[in-house]
Amino acid sequence: MKRKVEAVTGRSRIGRQLQRFVLQCAAFAVTGCLLATSNPSARTFDVEHGRRASVSNPSTLPELTVVVVTLDGVRWHEVFEGVDARLAASHGLSPSEVVSAADLTPNLHRIVATHGSALGAPGHGAAISASGPNFVSLPGYAELLSGRRATRCRDNQCTGSGAKTLLDEFTASAGRGGAQVALFTSWPDIARVASDRGTVAEPLPRSGSFRSDAVTADLAIAHLKVHAPRFLFLGLGEPDEFGHQNDYAGYLNAVRRADARIAEIDQELTRLAAHGTRTALFVTADHGRADSFVEHGSKFPESARVWLIAAGSALRAAGFVEAPTERRLADLAPTVRQLAGFPRDLDPEAGMPLSELLAATNP
């Protein structure tokens, strides 16, 4: 089983994915990786705490498709500054391989330059970070999906977040069938914090505890094109795998591959927007990395820092954005809730909407 607790993972796990690719592609032709189904009888997400929070009726809004993509353990350095010359030299990369951020992730930078926003870039306002205190994967995903700075998930052995998540709320509000809320992940443990109902079963057969990002992305993009879901989560895990192996070249190549798949998602969302759908794409990471590159976690406070790139017809395109205050992963879910017209989470640990990314016409 994949153990993401600041420990080195074996190269063989990545290598085995190539051998499984053909088999898993055959499975892809039969079934998807839908991890949450909708309640066809529910039209809005209803929360009662003695009083009803002020909220726009989602049924009065144009159709919405939200896609959240996470690149597990990808540092802000590569996204905003490019290949790290120091790490490249120590890992035997040639000087020609030390390229700019725009060359390493051309599609992310094209999105920011033409129709999106970037948050957390150095020199552009306050940072965005995981709340911690343990900067490992499941706490980061629990924070991101629930919108709470603190949840009951404190490590990678946790069994849930203890709070309603975006998948729960979109599931409750979806009225067009079970394909409208979907979670696709290379690391299956993310399903444990995807819903406050506990671990969600995954129908697609697995031959191990980790699936290649190529297969995971294929499944997610096919689902997006066929179903135009209200909410889709895609978790790509290979960058963190290579990071724990201290394989900087492998990490960089995993980032490049992820960047190419994000371009496909952005293209499909652009097509949907042209037909009147309100769209939102968010790309981020669950945690950063230590200065040493290999590790992350509570012993390495610098691994708290992450980054966020956003685009879509429902958002404001502003290039490199200066956050008015320090932002957290917990601020993503409140932003999505505002786009969807869901009630605001009034819990003291709840994040705040990223107003700097929201268009003036959002509810």
Say if 281 falls within a structural domain: yes
CATH at residue 66 = 3.40.720.10
The 10s digit of each residue's pLDDT in 19-73 is: 444 334 333 332 333 443 333 322 222 222 222 223 334 444 569 999 999 999 9
Grade residue 8 by pLDDT with cuts at 50, 70 and 90. very low
pLDDT at position 207 over 80: no
Q: Is residue 363 part of a domain?
A: no
Instruction: Specify if 338 maps to a domain.
Output: yes
C-alpha dihedral over 228, 309, 106, 138, to 10 degrees? -80
Q: Indicate the pLDDT class of residue 197, thresholds 50, 70 and 90.
A: confident
Q: Cα-atom radius of gyration of the chain, to the nearest Å?
A: 19
In a domain, 54, yes or no: no
Q: Which residues pair with 323 in a beta bridge?
A: 125
Domain with 182 in it: 11-42+60-357
State residue 208's pLDDT score: 60
pTM over 0.95: no
Structural domains of the chain, count: 1
In sign, the C-alpha dihedral spanning 64, 266, 223, 227 is positive
Q: Which residue in the block uniquely carries the two structure tokens 């892809």? A: 28
Nearest Cα to 169, choosing from 311, 289, 336? 336
As a residue count, the chain comes to 363
What is the pLDDT at residue 53?
28
- Pick from 16-20, 185-189, 331-335 the range whose average pLDDT is largest: 331-335
Helices marked H in 147-247 — which ranges? 166-173, 213-227, 238-244
Q: What is the pLDDT of residues 116-163, one digit of tens each?
A: 999 999 999 999 999 999 999 999 999 999 999 999 999 999 999 999
**Residue 202 three-state SS:** coil
Whether the Cβ atoms of residue 218 and residue 25 lie closer than 8 Å to each other: yes
Q: Is residue 53 part of a domain?
A: no
For residue 1, being part of any structural domain is answered with: no
Q: 3 in a domain, yes or no?
A: no
SS3 287: coil
No. of H helices and E strands in the chain? 11, 9
- Band the pLDDT of 179: cuts 50, 70, 90: confident
